[in-house]
A and B are shown apart, each in its own frame.
Chain A
Amino acid sequence: MRRVSDKLLTSQKSFVHAVDNISFIVNRGDILGLVGESGSGKSTTGRLCLKLIEPTSGKISFDGVELSKLCGEELRRFRRNMQMIFQDPTASLNPRIKIGEAIRHALSFQSIGTLSEQIERTQAMLERVGLKPWSNFYDRYPHQLSGGQRQRVIIARALVLNPKFIVADEPIAMVDVSVRAQILELMLELKREFDLTYLFITHDLAMANYVCHRIAIMYLGKIVETGPKEEVFKRPLHPYTLALLSSIPVPDPKAKLERIIPKGEIPSPINPPKGCRFHPRCPYAKPICSEREPQLEEIRPSHRAACFFPRS
């Protein structure tokens, strides 16, 4: 069980409310999809969970351990429990280090096993993510692999430490369309085999629908809706979710699209609108929406929305 609350990220002069007072729980074995557009704070949230960024306030607990209490050597060693799968397969690999070594470094930094044990584990991991035979790949440099292969290396590197929790930040956004499902399938297989829990960060609702159990929709630093994926997709409550769903391109020319497109664009997170953050663009906004901020409330069983007039 992991819990995240409250966080304000500040820069020097103005406050960027990257993630504003959010609370959520990720249960063991879950795949939680954190969906949002740019400025929603989803990437920041992911990094907070891994203590790559410090929260301004609030508590993050991982399996009962409060992250803020960890530091130095203890923190370094705790990191083996949670890892990240990065978005950009090219920039996330050191171009001067062979990929086999890059993966082995994870074990080496955590002082796990002897050198030969580390190499063995790396070889096994390479094969496990589909880079068979390992001898073809261990000594290659990142630029010698395709984008999809590089993403597998990133997954291997994240998994070789046997973590319990993985934050996947847009893991397939920069992979070719025809290969995406393969990477997702790999992630699902590995989840079953290693008993993992995922926080799946994406802007691609369609992919989130395919892979996640639960979905949390973020807008401008706030969570506006959470629920089981079927619920959120079939019976969305928040107007923003409705807008997102209706904006997804459908690869079927015969599909009738009823678009509910809100006007305007996402405002800057430095000066978010008062009251409900979505109200200036919401087609159903009423006066109260600009005065008070709605809280996440359970409208249907385990299906929450932060809206005074949820669509149901």
Chain B
Amino acid sequence: MPLLDIQSLVVEYHTLRANVKAVDRVSLSLEKGHTLGLVGESGCGKSTLGLSTLRLIPPPGKIVSGQITLDGIDIVNCSEEEIRRVRGKKVGYIFQDPMTSLNPVKKIGDHFVEMIRTHEPGVAKEDALKRAEEMLSRLGILPERINDFPHQFSGGMRQRVMIGLALALDPDMLIADEPTTSLDVIVEAQIIELLKELKESLSLTLILITHNIGIVAETADRVAVMYAGRIAELGETGALFEKPMHPYTQALLNSVPNITKKGQILSWIPGAPPDLAEPPTGCRFHPRCPYALDRCKEEEPLLLKHNSSEVACHLYDRR
């Protein structure tokens, strides 16, 4: 039984201009203890997908249809009470920007205390602080620093604090939304190593949302590639990198530099991602696809099984 199961999820933003389908009929599942890399460029819907698993989509966005089942709980339809119990306790969320995600007037220790006592009201303040200290030292921060304020921490440290907060209640699953985007290269490597280590020691289930293909290659068991609100390809990491099937995946992998590859020629994808208010007919990628068939302009491809992966592309659809 997968820990997380998403079926035909549709999330729309109702703006003055138009209805934007940020997530359009996405289905995927995640087994316990596995890591899913959710990859795509800006505007593909990956962040929206992550937020929807905890019903955290800000208005004017809303979940229009579909199902999200997390450890048996119906996320889309459950009560406010229930979803609040899920947030933090069952699922930890690491938000995109550690610079602004921490309250600047609260000490780090108080962040932890608030987090813990909201979900476990009976816990005494001293005990909560003790747990905070343990968590910090596990993440490589001196425990005394629970008395410091966010601005006294550097970027990488703040990100570690965010990870600590997300893990404070021992959740089953962790969702990290662009956890290293605003960090320097070396700190990024430190954080990725930390995540890998935590994955091992805590048997974490992890969703890693990013546009950085490199860190996904390193940490994920399975990868989902999103484009314009839909999943283009979904498969085991090794298979996806070795033999990418969807033309978008292929093009994406060819546009990322790999310093271990000698004499690599980088390519690119002409054009730009579509305006989700008026997406192209048929396959959303067809205007930029080098292999587009007539069928691609009219019929939207379904996500179908092919070998051990899933692809949404007519090139693989023999029906």
B209-246 contact mask (Cβ, 8 Å, vs A): 1 or 0: 00111111110000000000000000001100110000
A249/B267 contact (C-beta < 8 A), A178-B255, A265-B154 known: no
Asked whether, in the complex, the Cβ of A37 is within 8 Å of the Cβ of B256, the reply is no
| Cβ < 8 Å to A, chain B residues 246-297 | 251-253, 255-261, 264, 266-270, 272-273
- Chain B residues with a Cβ closer than 8 Å to the other chain, count: 45
Could you say which of B49-57, B97-105, B188-196 contacts chain A?
A: B188-196
Most buried by B among A181, A185, A203: A181
Asked whether, in the complex, the Cβ of A247 is within 8 Å of the Cβ of B259, the reply is no
Most buried by B among A176, A245, A253: A253
Asked whether, in the complex, the Cβ of B190 is within 8 Å of the Cβ of A178, the reply is no
**What are the residues of chain A within 8 A of B178 when measuring CB–CB?**
none
CB of A250 closer than 8 Å to a CB of B:
yes
**What are the residues of chain A within 8 A of B217 when measuring CB–CB?**
249-253, 255
- Smallest CB-CB separation from A243: which chain B residue? B186
**What are the residues of chain B within 8 A of A265 when measuring CB–CB?**
154-157, 187
Most buried by B among A149, A178, A259: A178
**What are the residues of chain B within 8 A of A247 when measuring CB–CB?**
185-186, 188-189
Asked whether, in the complex, the Cβ of B266 is within 8 Å of the Cβ of A184, the reply is yes
Task: Compute how far the CA of A46 lies from the CA of B111 in the bound complex, rounded to whole angstroms.
Answer: 40
**What are the residues of chain A within 8 A of B192 when measuring CB–CB?**
249
Asked whether, in the complex, the Cβ of A178 is within 8 Å of the Cβ of B188, the reply is no
A226-256 contact mask (Cβ, 8 Å, vs B): 1 or 0: 0000000100000000011111111111110
Which among B185, B252, B261, B266 is the interface contact of A248 at CB below 8 angstroms?
B185
Task: Compute how far the CA of A146 lies from the CA of B218 in the bound complex, rounded to whole angstroms.
Answer: 31
Asked whether, in the complex, the Cβ of B255 is within 8 Å of the Cβ of A37, the reply is no
Task: Compute how far the CA of A252 lies from the CA of B241 in the bound complex, rounded to whole angstroms.
Answer: 7
CB of A182 closer than 8 Å to a CB of B:
yes
Could you say which of A93-101, A153-161, A206-214 contacts chain B?
A: A206-214
CB of A257 closer than 8 Å to a CB of B:
yes
- Smallest CB-CB separation from B210: which chain A residue? A249
Asked whether, in the complex, the Cβ of A146 is within 8 Å of the Cβ of B255, the reply is no
Task: Compute how far the CA of A179 lies from the CA of B190 in the bound complex, rounded to whole angstroms.
Answer: 28
**What are the residues of chain A within 8 A of B260 when measuring CB–CB?**
250, 252, 255
CB of B74 closer than 8 Å to a CB of A:
no
Asked whether, in the complex, the Cβ of A203 is within 8 Å of the Cβ of B255, the reply is no
CB of A103 closer than 8 Å to a CB of B:
no
**What are the residues of chain B within 8 A of A206 when measuring CB–CB?**
257-259
Task: Compute how far the CA of A176 lies from the CA of B273 in the bound complex, rounded to whole angstroms.
Answer: 9
CB of A262 closer than 8 Å to a CB of B:
yes
**What are the residues of chain A within 8 A of B268 when measuring CB–CB?**
178-182, 185
A251/B258 contact (C-beta < 8 A), A177-B211, A181-B268 known: yes
- Smallest CB-CB separation from A40: which chain B residue? B184
Shortest Cβ distance from A143 into chain B, in angstroms?
13
Asked whether, in the complex, the Cβ of B214 is within 8 Å of the Cβ of A251, the reply is yes
**What are the residues of chain A within 8 A of B189 when measuring CB–CB?**
246-247, 249, 259, 261
CB of A8 closer than 8 Å to a CB of B:
no
Shortest Cβ distance from A63 into chain B, in angstroms?
32
**What are the residues of chain A within 8 A of B270 when measuring CB–CB?**
182
Task: Compute how far the CA of A148 lies from the CA of B187 in the bound complex, rounded to whole angstroms.
Answer: 28
Most buried by A among B193, B253, B255, B257: B257
Shortest Cβ distance from B3 into chain A, in angstroms?
22
Task: Compute how far the CA of A261 lies from the CA of B242 in the bound complex, rounded to whole angstroms.
Answer: 28
Asked whether, in the complex, the Cβ of A177 is within 8 Å of the Cβ of B190, the reply is no
CB of A205 closer than 8 Å to a CB of B:
yes
Task: Compute how far the CA of A206 lies from the CA of B256 in the bound complex, rounded to whole angstroms.
Answer: 9
CB of B19 closer than 8 Å to a CB of A:
no
| Cβ < 8 Å to B, chain A residues 132-170 | 146-149
CB of A266 closer than 8 Å to a CB of B:
yes
CB of A92 closer than 8 Å to a CB of B:
no
A181/B184 contact (C-beta < 8 A), A248-B259, A250-B258, A251-B217 known: no
**What are the residues of chain A within 8 A of B259 when measuring CB–CB?**
205-206, 209, 233, 245, 248, 250
CB of A27 closer than 8 Å to a CB of B:
no
| Cβ < 8 Å to B, chain A residues 171-212 | 176-182, 184-185, 203-207, 209-210
Asked whether, in the complex, the Cβ of A178 is within 8 Å of the Cβ of B185, the reply is no
CB of B42 closer than 8 Å to a CB of A:
yes
**What are the residues of chain B within 8 A of A251 when measuring CB–CB?**
213-214, 216-217, 241, 253, 256, 258
Q: Which 4 A-B pairs have the closest CB atoms?
A: A249-B214, A247-B189, A181-B266, A206-B257
Cβ contacts A to B, 24 pairs, < 8 Å: A37-B184, A37-B185, A37-B186, A147-B42, A176-B42, A177-B213, A177-B252, A178-B255, A179-B268, A180-B255, A181-B267, A182-B268, A244-B186, A247-B186, A248-B185, A248-B259, A249-B192, A250-B259, A251-B256, A252-B261, A253-B238, A253-B241, A254-B241, A261-B189
- Please give 6 more A-B residue pairs, beta carbons under 8 A apart, in addition to A176-B42, A177-B252, A178-B269: A181-B267, A204-B185, A209-B257, A244-B186, A249-B215, A251-B253
